[in-house]
Amino acid sequence: MQEIERNIFRWRSLVWVLAKRDFRRRYAGSALGVAWAIIEPGVQFGLYFLVFSVFLGMKIEGRPGGGSYAMYLLSGLIPFLVFQESLTRAAGLAHEQAGLTRHVRVPLEVLLAGALVSVFLRHMFGLAILVVIATALGQVVLSQLPWLAIGLVLLAAGCFGVALALVPAGAFLPDLNQFVGLSGMVLFFLTPIVYSPAVLPAKAAPVLLYNPLVGLLDTFRAGIMGGGVPPSHLLVTTGAVLASFFVGQAVFRRRAHQVPDLV
């Protein structure tokens, strides 16, 4: 086990405390409290469905009906939002937690783990609701659920790896948070989340193959809607996750000690 993972395990109680505090702080002072963790994604998902399915008439090839499109949309949107928010939080974490970083000297990887656990907690409410609805509609096949577990592992490892590199980079580059947010918006439209790959021209196929998020979303959709995951997509995603995990750790080990002097 590497030093980063050892520190997180050693400080696991603090990771959980930080995650719960971050989760509650997001809804502190509101009348509905943590109920917003369900209301916010519900409204957001509803708007996407209304615009793309009802107004634009988007359908999924071989799966007629708005219900299938809603499942397709949400099973891709939830992991993407987790990925996007995890990276945005990581890019701004050094400045956000400057007090703890400078004075208390809590290991930076522990602060990062707490922030990422909070992000995952919030979005897992939406994922759990989606699985319940898909089960009620008879779309979830028990034999396909391992794909959902694989997707969660790939998502967590990928987010953690990229986030490890972004934390020290965010201390050096104050505008990195805005850049990550803008990049996420571009990536959203380069990934088949609101549209099916079937509607794209043949020339776009290589773009999808080399986008590691495509294979990641395939695993979530296979777990919730059934079907398989193209081996080439899964291979690209797994390779990208492993690369980000090891590169992120290397960058973090080399630069993390400089963060307290920069924030």
Which residues neighbour 16 within 8 Å (Cβ) at sequence distance 6 or greater?
114, 117
Is residue 192 in some structural domain?
Answer: yes
Region 125-148 average pLDDT: 80
pLDDT band at 195 (very low <50, low <70, confident <90, very high): confident
Q: How many Cβ atoms from other residues are within 10 Å of residue 102's Cβ?
A: 13
Q: What is the mean pLDDT of residues 57-62?
A: 62
Q: Report the percentage of the chain scoring pLDDT > 70.
A: 87
Whether residue 151 lies inside any domain: the answer is yes
- Distance in angstroms (rounded) separating the CA atoms of residues 249 and 166: 11
Largest separation between any pair of C-alpha atoms in the chain = 58
Residue 225 lies in a domain: yes
Cβ within 8 Å of residue 98, ≥6 positions away: 263
Which whole number is the average pLDDT over 166-173?
Answer: 91
pLDDT of res. 240: 96
Tens digit of pLDDT for each residue in 103-118?
A: 767 789 999 999 999 9
- pLDDT for 66 equals 47
- What average pLDDT is seen over the chain? 84
263 is a domain residue: no
Alpha helices in the chain (DSSP H): 3-10, 12-26, 36-49, 66-96, 98-99, 108-136, 145-172, 176-190, 205-209, 212-225, 231-255
* 12-26 pLDDT tens trace: 998 999 998 888 787
| Length, in residues, of the chain | 263
Q: Count of CB atoms within 10 A of residue 44's CB? A: 14
What is the Cβ-side half-sphere exposure of residue 185, based on CA atoms within 13 angstroms? 5
Q: Is it the case that residue 62 has pLDDT exceeding 60?
A: no
Domain of residue 210 covers 3-258
- Asked which of 39-43, 90-94, 174-178 is least confident by mean pLDDT, the reply is 39-43
Does residue 101 have a pLDDT over 80?
Answer: no
Of residues 143 and 119, the one with the higher pLDDT is 119
Residue 40 lies in a domain: yes
pLDDT tier, 180 (very low <50, low <70, confident <90, very high otherwise) = very high
Per-position DSSP letters for 1-14, written without gaps between them: --HHHHHHHHTHHH
pLDDT over 90 percentage in the chain? 41
Distances (CA, A) of 99 to 21, 96, 170, 259: 16, 8, 16, 12
Average pLDDT value for residue range 33-58: 70
- Report the domain count for the chain: 1
- Asked whether residue 66 is assigned to any structural domain, the reply reads yes
**How many Å apart are CA 198 and CA 45, to the nearest integer?**
22
61 part of a folded domain: yes
pLDDT of residue 235: 95
Q: Are 173 and 90 in contact (CB under 8 A)?
A: no
CB 79 within 8 A of CB 131: no
pLDDT tens-place string over residues 65-83: 445 777 888 889 999 999 9
pLDDT of residue 102: 73
* Pairwise CA distance, residues 59 & 40, whole Å: 25
**Nearest Cα residue to 165 out of 61, 230, 91:** 91
Over the Cα atoms of the chain, what is R_g? 19
**Residue 20 pLDDT:** 87
Question: Shortest CA distance to 23 belongs to which of 134, 135, 120, 139?
Answer: 120
Choose the most confident range, by mean pLDDT, from 29-38, 74-83, 192-201.
74-83
Most confident residue range from 33-37, 184-188, 196-200: 184-188
More confident residue, 107 or 90: 90
